[in-house]
């Protein structure tokens, strides 16, 4: 395992090429092409904003403007859920590649995570534009922690992606179960509602068991709730960072244990 993990750095050129190919292939044949990378998060933001301002209006003054609050959690969730959905089937769809003797199979789920991370960064441009539109400025002392939150999410998501991609080769039902699990996971995470208040106090035990809770709250405190991250969720995020490394190593261990069966089953 450790030898295979160490050799991953050799494949960084291959990973870059496959990520670029994935980004180009995603919108190949469409009229607007790569502009959909900006249009999709803008449409997503518009839909959620309409629903939770016109139909189910937000009444919490601490989450105003609501579109900014909501998008601070929704963007990283989209990266996370899309990565897991795509990674789960990556070895099956890339079966012709993993049957080649020298091709490193772990590259495929990693490419799924990194390609969606690129879309996450592009979505941040839309979020920045809305910050400017609303004349809302994050706290700069909190904002310097943003790269750490992104790095922890990358490690955590990659670990889950590796394990899911390996297990899905043997258990195809995982893809259908995953879609339903992610739907529950989304609503069990304070993304479209704040993590405080009377309605959610009784569910704090569920939040503490929810790994993505620590990421969503960290994004919200770094980007939206000004001046609250260092005194608030920073220590818990650092602990979750240690857990994320453990998740990554466990995910790679599962992947490495099942590696020899991929070519036969996929």
Both tokens of 127, joined, read 């979020």
Is the pLDDT at 130 greater than 60? The verdict is yes
pTM: predicted TM-score of the whole model, two decimal places: 0.90
Is the pLDDT at 265 greater than 60? The verdict is no
Q: Which residue bears the tokens 């939040």?
A: 207
Contact criterion met (CB below 8 Å) for 254 and 163: yes
Contact partners, residue 154, CB within 8 Å, separation at least 6: 113, 117
Q: For 68-87, what is each residue's pLDDT tens digit?
A: 888 899 999 999 999 999 99
Contact criterion met (CB below 8 Å) for 98 and 262: yes
Contact criterion met (CB below 8 Å) for 237 and 214: yes
Query: Can you give the C-alpha Rg of the chain in angstroms?
Result: 19
In sequence order, what DSSP letters do the residues of 24-50 get, joined into one string? Answer: HHHTTT-SSGGGHHHHHHHHHHHHHHH
Q: For 236-264, what is each residue's pLDDT tens digit?
A: 899 999 999 999 999 999 998 888 777 66
Is the pLDDT at 90 greater than 80? The verdict is yes
Q: For 26-50, what is each residue's pLDDT tens digit?
A: 776 665 656 666 777 778 777 877 7
Contact criterion met (CB below 8 Å) for 136 and 63: no
pLDDT at position 163: 95
Average pLDDT over residues 174-199: 85
pLDDT > 90: percent of the chain: 35
Q: Angle 146-170/107-133 helices, nearest 10 degrees? A: 140
Both tokens of 170, joined, read 């043997």
pLDDT at position 156: 97
């Amino acid at each position: 395992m450790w030898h295979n993990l160490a050799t991953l750095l050799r494949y960084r050129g291959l990973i870059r090429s496959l990520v670029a190919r994935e980004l180009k292939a995603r919108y190949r044949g469409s009229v607007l092409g790569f502009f959909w990378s900006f249009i999709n998060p803008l449409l997503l933001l518009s839909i959620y904003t309409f629903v939770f301002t016109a139909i189910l209006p937000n009444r919490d003054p601490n989450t105003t403007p609501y579109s900014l609050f909501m998008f601070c959690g929704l963007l990283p969730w989209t990266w996370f859920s899309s990565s897991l959905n795509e990674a789960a089937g990556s070895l099956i769809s890339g079966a012709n590649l993993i049957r080649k003797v020298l091709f490193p199979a772990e590259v495929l789920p990693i490419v799924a995570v990194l390609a969606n991370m690129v879309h996450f960064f592009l979505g941040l441009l839309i979020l920045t534009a809305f910050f400017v539109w609303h004349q809302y400025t994050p706290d700069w002392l909190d904002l310097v922690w943003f790269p750490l939150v992104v790095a922890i999410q990358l490690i955590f998501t990659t670990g889950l992606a590796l394990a899911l991609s390996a297990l899905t080769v043997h258990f195809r039902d995982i893809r259908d179960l995953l879609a339903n699990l992610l739907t529950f996971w989304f609503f069990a995470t304070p993304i479209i509602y704040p993590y405080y208040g009377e309605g959610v106090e009784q569910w704090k035990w569920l939040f503490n068991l929810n790994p993505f809770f620590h990421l969503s709250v960290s994004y919200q405190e770094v980007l939206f709730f000004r001046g609250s991250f260092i005194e608030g969720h920073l220590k818990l995020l650092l602990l979750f960072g240690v857990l994320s490394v453990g998740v990554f190593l466990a995910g790679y261990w599962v992947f490495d244990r099942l590696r020899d069966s991929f070519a036969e089953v996929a």
